Amino acid sequence: MDEPVIVVTRRWPAPVEEELVRRFPHVRLNVEDVPLGPEGLRAALEQADVVLPTVSDRLGAELFDGELRTTFLGNFGVGYDHIDIEAAARAGIVVTNTPGVLTDTTADTTMTLLLMVARRAGEGEREVRAGRWTGWRPTHMMGADVTGKTLGILGMGRIGVAVARRAHFGFGMPVVFHDPVDFEPDHGIPGARRVDTVEEVLALADFVSLHMPGGGENARLIDAAALARMKPTAFLVNSARGDVVDQQALIAALRSGTIAGAGLDVYEDEPEIPRDLRELDNAVLLPHLGSATRETRTAMGMLVLADLQAFLTGHPPSCRVA
């Protein structure tokens, strides 16, 4: 393919956009940073050789029907449940993602959520900003200790392991984990215990952290029954995908005290977050910031570019998912 037409669906970090423009004469950047929507995405697939989407673009099977020009989709992000990769593959499109480069940053965000919800940091900040703090007192805003508590990990991939390592080596937390496809005994974390079921993790952990992909059989895995299996003193942390948790069931569990709190970076219907959830003080809510550092977002973009370059020069992309 000589000089491909490339559509980038959202703004990317400046160093990556500069590199794209330097290398390719026919790049269309989304200067306004407004999501293209289904029609814009369909037009991109019909008119461009390469489309570079991200999690805010929903690329369902219907978008891949019929005549398309695109042969390469380089997703900016590790999760690709927003792309029907089987339909893309049937349409002859190669799809890549960005694993590895965001592991530590996402694990750091997960620990931020865990610490914030345990120590009521969001609530405390709101109190100070609203001018409602009346001074130190022994019973003021008491949270829960983190050190020495049990961390339960569901999904022991790269990010799950990175969170477990931080929690164990940094906070002395015993780790219990479940993963349906990973059978490594302890991932080099002393005492880490692999268990056979999700239910065991839910029952044993003081903090349950989710690290599985979204969609498929993981959709609403954490429903009312799952939440009821957790200790009433336990916290749920989700930096994976919003659809893994039944959001209404979580709201009910947070209200009734079925669990103590939740730290969330992802939601069922982003960017919509129900008012009922926003009003709960025992929920820490971040706007999908998992990988949001300058360094990591630049590395993600550069990885997409490296795989695009490989594809265009007839080499196998290193992060091909379809």
Known active-site residue 288? yes
Give the largest Cα separation in the chain, rounded: 70
- CB 275 to ligand DGY: min, Å: 24
- How many Cβ atoms from other residues are within 10 Å of residue 48's Cβ? 22
- Is position 160 an interface residue for ligand DGY (rule: CB under 6 A)? no
Which lies closer to ligand DGY via its Cβ, residue 55 or residue 319? 55
Known active-site residue 129? no
Known active-site residue 217? no
- CB 59 to ligand DGY: min, Å: 13
- Is position 55 an interface residue for ligand DGY (rule: CB under 6 A)? yes
Q: Find the binding residues for ligand DGY in span 76-135 (CB under 6 A).
A: 77-79, 102
- CB 251 to ligand DGY: min, Å: 22
Q: How far apart are the first and last CA of the chain?
A: 20
Interstrand relation of 261-264 and 235-238 (parallel, antiparallel or unpaired)? parallel
- Is position 291 an interface residue for ligand DGY (rule: CB under 6 A)? yes
Q: Which of 280, 294, 313 is nearest to 117 (CA)?
A: 280
Annotated active-site residue in 187, 194, 288, 297: 288
Residue nearest to ligand DGY (CB): 77
- How many Cβ atoms from other residues are within 10 Å of residue 140's Cβ? 12
- Is position 53 an interface residue for ligand DGY (rule: CB under 6 A)? no
Which lies closer to ligand DGY via its Cβ, residue 252 or residue 285? 285
Q: How many residues bind ligand DGY (CB under 6 A)?
A: 8
φ, ψ (nearest 5 deg) of residue 57: -105, 125
The amino acid that residue 46 corresponds to is E
Q: Is 136 exposed, middle or buried (0-12, 13-18, 19+ CB in 10 A)?
A: exposed
Contact call for residues 5 and 50 (beta carbons, < 8 A): yes
Residue reference for tokens 């009734």: 256
Which residues participate in catalysis according to the annotation?
A: 241, 270, 288
Interacting residues with ligand DGY (CB under 6 A): 54-55, 77-79, 102, 290-291
